[in-house]
């Protein structure tokens, strides 16, 4: 069972998210919070697997809360709840240790997919946000060229693994796709993160989009 904490300063949003997750047999909401400071307190008390974290909140915003969670409870995966108007925060959220980005206006099934992906150690980008990343990369030749240069040092297998990380697959799913044992995939992913000098799978996923390894 995947244990989830909901964090949003709007009680109606929390109610809606809880109702969606209630339809999933493998997900249970164990805590709720209305600001970043309360989110940390609830995370310490309940130790959820995944925290769904709003970006804009009083007392302590989602970005600072995500950073605090990364250092204090690194085993807890954080998925940021965003709106299109907040897409400029994606890079900051990456630095805060987020495992994914989910649009509040997105498909309810994306919510379940994001929770499952983050719980399994995979990255998750809402398709709309991923599309924007692609558009930005396509519109900035220098970024596309820089991303292509960065992945040039990877082996063909490592680039293949990076592309699947970008597509949101977990280590187990990548293993099934490439006919590799999960331990081997984990080693490949660690090597890719190290060679690319990125902090987590979401940063690697964004780089995969920018380099054109993931189809729109």
Per-residue pLDDT reduced to its tens digit, 130-149: 666 655 555 555 667 788 88
pLDDT given at position 28: 96
Cβ contacts of 97 within 8 Å, gap of 6 or more: 66, 67, 69, 70, 74, 78, 199, 200
- Distance from C-alpha of 118 to C-alpha of 138, rounded to nearest angstrom: 27
Instruction: Please say if the pLDDT value at position 120 is more than 90.
Output: no
| Most confident stretch, 100-104, 120-124, 188-192, 208-212 | 188-192
Instruction: Please say if the pLDDT value at position 96 is more than 80.
Output: no
Q: Which residue has the tokens 């310490």?
A: 44
What percentage of the chain exceeds 90 in pLDDT? Answer: 46
Candidates 209, 210, 199, 171; CA nearest to 70 is 199
Instruction: Name the DSSP class of 114.
Output: H
Candidates 57, 5, 66, 64; CA nearest to 34 is 57
Cβ contacts of 195 within 8 Å, gap of 6 or more: 153, 154, 158
pLDDT given at position 205: 84
């Amino acid at each position: 069972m995947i244990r989830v904490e909901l964090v949003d300063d709007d009680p109606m949003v929390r109610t809606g998210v809880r109702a969606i997750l209630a339809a999933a047999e493998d997900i249970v909401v164990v805590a709720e919070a209305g600001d970043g400071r309360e989110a940390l307190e609830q995370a310490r008390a309940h130790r959820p697997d995944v925290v769904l974290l709003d970006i804009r909140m009083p007392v302590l915003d989602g970005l600072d809360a995500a950073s605090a969670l990364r250092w204090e409870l690194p085993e807890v995966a954080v998925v940021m709840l965003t709106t299109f108007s907040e897409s400029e925060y994606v890079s900051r959220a990456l630095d805060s240790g987020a495992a994914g980005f989910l649009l509040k206006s997105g498909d309810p099934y994306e919510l379940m997919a994001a929770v499952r992906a983050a719980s399994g150690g995979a990255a998750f980008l809402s398709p709309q946000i991923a599309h924007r990343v692609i558009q930005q990369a396509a519109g900035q030749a220098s970024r596309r060229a820089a991303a292509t240069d960065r992945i040039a040092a990877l082996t063909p297998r490592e680039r293949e693994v990076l592309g699947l990380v970008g597509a949101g697959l977990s280590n187990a799913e990548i293993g099934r796709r490439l006919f590799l044992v999960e331990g081997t995939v984990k080693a490949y992913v660690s090597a890719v993160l190290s060679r690319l000098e990125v902090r987590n799978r979401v940063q690697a996923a964004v780089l995969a989009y920018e380099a054109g390894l993931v189809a729109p």
